[in-house]
Structure 1
Amino acid sequence: MLGVAVGDALGLPYENLSRRRGLRLFGEPDRYRLLPGIGLISDDTEHNCLVAQSLIAQGTDVERFQADFARRLRRWALLLPAGTGRATIVASAKLCVGVSPERSGVFSAGNGPAMRAPMLGVAIRDLDLLRQLVRVSTRVTHTDPKAEFGAWAIALATNLSWNEPGLTPQHYLQRLTETLADDPAGELIELIAKAVASVEAGETTAAFLDSQGLGKGVSGYVYHTVPAALHVWLSYPDDYRNAVQTMIACGGDTDTTAAIVGGMVAARTGKAGIPAEWIAGLRDWPRTTRWMETLAAALADSIETGITAQPPRLPWWKELPRNLAFLTLVIGYGFRRLLPPY
C-alpha cells in the first residue's frame, strides 16, 4: 500500500512531461514537489485502496467482489476525483446511472486496470483465483482484452515479487507465457520478452524505451506502461529508491508508472525498503499514512483468517472537500507547467 502511494506522490508533478522537460522544470525526482515536502496521492493509490476495501468486505467471492468494487467505484466517482482517465470516467458514469458492472466497461486499452493490479497481486496467493479477480476488476472499466492482459502481467509480477525472492527475469517471462498460453496475448508477450532481453543485456530502461519509440515518455496505453514498468522492476527488484526514480525519470504517465513499480518492488522489500523520509512526507488527508496502514492491516487479517469484515471507511464530507482542493491545486500546477524553464 505504501509502495504504491509513495511512487504515486513522487511521480505526480512529472505526469505527462517528457524526460527533458520534467528534469528541467522540477529537477530530480528525489522529493515531493507538487507541494514542497508534502506528498499527495492520486487515483492510482485510491483505486488500490478501493480494491483492498472490496477484498476485506467480500473476500474471494469473485461475483461479490465485482459488485462491491463497482459500488465503491461509483461512490468514488461521485466525489469528483481529479486526473482520472477517460475510460474510467465513462465507466463510472455508466455505473452511476444504473448500468451493471458486467456492462459498464468501455473498450479501451488504458492502464487503469494495471494501476490497481498490485493490490490484487500481493493479496491473493492462488494464481487461478487471482486471474479471475483481475478479470472482473478490469472489465468494470475496460473491456479491451489488452487491458486485462496488461493488468494480469502486473498482478503476476507483484505476486511473484513477494512469493519468490529468487525470481529471475526469464522465470517471470516463462510464468507469464504459461498463464497466457490460451489467450491472444502474443503482442504483449513479445514486448515483455524484449524488456527481459534488455534487462539481461544490462541496458538501461531509458535506452530500452528509446528502442521502443518511447523516448519522450511512457504513455497511458497499457502496452507501453506494462513493459516499461516491468523493465524497471526487473532491473531493481530490491531497490525501491532507484526503481521509482528511474521510472519517473522516463517521463510520461509518471504517477501511474511509479505507483505500479513502487507496488511491485515494495511487495518484496516491505515498508523497511521504502525511504523513511518519503513515507514521513506523505501527508494527504483523509487517506493518511495511518489510515492506509490500518486498511492494509485489516486486509492482511481478512486474508489470514478468511473472515470478511467491514473495512475502514472515509466519510464523504472529508473526501469531497479534499478532492475539490486537490483539483484546484492540479489546475494551478497545470498553468505553472506552461512557464519556463523549457
Structure 2
Amino acid sequence: MLDELALDRALGVVWASAVGDALGAPYEFQPSLPDSTPVELKAGGPWERGEWTDDTSMSVPILRELAAGHALEDPAALGRIVAEWQDWSLGAKDVGIQTRAVLSLVRTPTEAVARASSYRVHLENGNRSAGNGSLMRTGPVALGYLGLGVEDTVAKAAARVSELTHFEQDATQACVLWSLAIRHAVLTGRLDVRGQLPHLGQDAAARWGALLDEAEAKQPRDFPNNGWVVHALQAAYSALRHGDGLLDTLERAVRCGHDTDTVAAIAGSLAGAVYGAAALPSEYVSALHGWPGLDAGGLQDLVLATVNGEHVRGAGG
C-alpha cells in the first residue's frame, strides 16, 4: 500500500495532467507566449473553462481498465480500451489526426486489429507516425504497476498501449521513458528521467540522453514542432526542469505555443507525480470536467481504485 504522500502524488499524475490539458486548451495552435503574459484557466474555442480535451479523455479508458483490476498486458483489456476510444471519437470535439486515421480502420476493436491498423497508417505516411498522441495519455500506465521490481512490465505495457495508435519507435520509447519516470516519482517524490534511460537499450539511451541535455539547456518554446513526440517530450521536460513548482511548470508548458494542451498534459503527468495533487490550486481542480461526464472526483475514484486495490501489480510498492 502507498503512504499518504505517495497517494497524493499518484492522484497528482492524473489531476495535474488534466489541469494542464484544460489550461492549455484555449491557447492551442497559437504562437508562444512571453513570460510576462499570464496563463489563465478559461474557456476558448470549443472548450468550456476547466474542460479537458482528448489528452485526458483517451487516458480515462486506460484508468478504467486498471481500476477494474485488469492488466495492460492483457489483449482483452487493450481491446476494450480501443473500443472505448472508438465510441468517444464519434462525438469528440477534437481527435488527433494519427489517432483518427487508425481508429477509422478498426472494424473489430482488438489489440491485434488496432496494431495492424496503426502499422498500416505508419506505412502509408512514409514510415512516420511519431505524433505526440500516445505520450499524452501515458500517465495512467505507471499507476497500475507500483509494486517492486516491475519496471520491465511497465515498459512493455507502455509500449503496447502506445502502439495501438502510434507505431513509430520514437513514440514507443518516449512513452516507456515517461511512464517509468512517473512511476519513480510517485514512489520517491523525485524527478529522475535520466535514471530510466537504461530501459531503452544502449543506443536509444544515448540518443534520448542527448535530447534531455538539449531540453535542460533550452526553454519549452524552443521546441516549436511539439506535435512531434520528441519535441513534445523535450518541451515538457524543459518546463519541469525550469519550473518553480507545479503551477509554474504547467504555465511554462502552455507558453510553448502550438500544441499547448498536449505539452501541458504531458508535463502535468510527471510534474503531478513529483509535487502531488495538493500543489494544484483548488479552484482549478474544482473546475475540471470532461468526457465521459466525469469531474475531478470521478478521476480520483479511478486513481484510488487503481492504486489501492488488491490487484496492484507486483505487490509490495
For Structure 1 versus Structure 2, the TM-score category normalised by the shorter chain is 0.7 to 0.9
Distance of 2:53 and 2:72 partners within structure 1: 28
- Does the CA-based 8 Å contact 2:26-2:43 persist in structure 1? yes
Residue of 257, 263, 278 corresponding to 2:263: 257
Distance of 1:183 and 1:142 partners within structure 2: 21
Question: What's the counterpart of residue 324 of structure 1?
Answer: none
Question: What's the counterpart of residue 312 of structure 1?
Answer: none
- Does the CA-based 8 Å contact 2:226-2:263 persist in structure 1? no
* Max Rg structure: 1
Residues 1:117 and 2:138 are matched in the alignment: yes
Question: What's the counterpart of residue 219 of structure 2?
Answer: 205
Residues 1:291 and 2:288 are matched in the alignment: no
Q: Deviations over 1:201-258 (max 9, x none)?
A: xxx625xx53xxx3xx35210011011111212333x711100011101111100111
| Structure 1 segments of 4+ aligned residues over 6 angstroms from their partners | none
Residues 1:33 and 2:40 are matched in the alignment: no
Question: What's the counterpart of residue 31 of structure 2?
Answer: 18
Q: Which TM-score applies when normalising by structure 2?
A: 0.80
- Does the CA-based 8 Å contact 2:254-2:260 persist in structure 1? yes
CA distance 1:264–1:307, shift in 2 (3 Å): closer
Please list, as runs of the form range in 1=range in 2, the aligned pairs for 1:45-124 lying within 5 A after superposition.
45-57=56-68, 59-60=70-71, 62-64=73-75, 65-77=77-89, 79-96=90-107, 100-105=113-118, 106-107=121-122, 108-124=129-145
One-letter amino acid matched to 1:189: G
CA distance 1:287–1:103, shift in 2 (3 Å): same
Q: Deviations over 1:85-139 (max 9, x none)?
A: 1110011112246671331213200011100111112332221111111111011
CA distance 1:256–1:288, shift in 2 (3 Å): same
Distance of 1:75 and 1:282 partners within structure 2: 22
- Does the CA-based 8 Å contact 2:184-2:190 persist in structure 1? no
One-letter amino acid matched to 1:289: A
Stretch deviating more after TM superposition (272-281 or 158-167): 158-167
Distance of 2:190 and 2:23 partners within structure 1: 28
- Does the CA-based 8 Å contact 1:58-1:68 persist in structure 2? no
Structure 2 SS opposite 1:104: helix
Residue of 16, 32, 35 corresponding to 1:3: 16
Distance of 1:5 and 1:132 partners within structure 2: 24
CA distance 1:306–1:194, shift in 2 (3 Å): same
Distance of 1:234 and 1:135 partners within structure 2: 25
Question: What's the counterpart of residue 336 of structure 1?
Answer: none
Question: What's the counterpart of residue 219 of structure 1?
Answer: 226
Structure 1 SS opposite 2:113: coil
Please list, as runs of the form range in 1=range in 2, the aligned pairs for 1:133-282 lying within 5 A after superposition.
133-167=157-191, 172-173=193-194, 175-181=195-201, 184=204, 186-196=206-216, 198=217, 205-206=219-220, 209-210=221-222, 214=223, 217-236=224-243, 239-282=245-288
Higher relative contact order (CA 8 A, sep 6+): 2
* Structure 1 residue 143, shift from structure 2 partner: 0.7
Distance of 2:42 and 2:255 partners within structure 1: 14
Distance of 2:29 and 2:72 partners within structure 1: 37
Q: Deviations over 1:248-296 (max 9, x none)?
A: 0111110011111112111233221111111122244612222222222
Aligned length: 284
- Does the CA-based 8 Å contact 1:188-1:223 persist in structure 2? no
* Runs (5+) with no aligned partner, structure 2: 1-13, 123-128
Distance of 2:24 and 2:85 partners within structure 1: 23
- Does the CA-based 8 Å contact 1:10-1:255 persist in structure 2? yes
* Structure 1 residue 184, shift from structure 2 partner: 4.3
* Structure 1 residue 83, shift from structure 2 partner: 2.0
Question: What's the counterpart of residue 318 of structure 1?
Answer: none
Q: Which TM-score applies when normalising by structure 1?
A: 0.75
* Runs (5+) with no aligned partner, structure 1: 199-203, 309-342
Residue of 295, 303, 311 corresponding to 1:306: 311
Question: What's the counterpart of residue 319 of structure 1?
Answer: none
Distance of 1:123 and 1:97 partners within structure 2: 26
Distance of 1:219 and 1:111 partners within structure 2: 8
Cα RMSD after superposing both structures: 2.7
- Does the CA-based 8 Å contact 2:23-2:41 persist in structure 1? yes
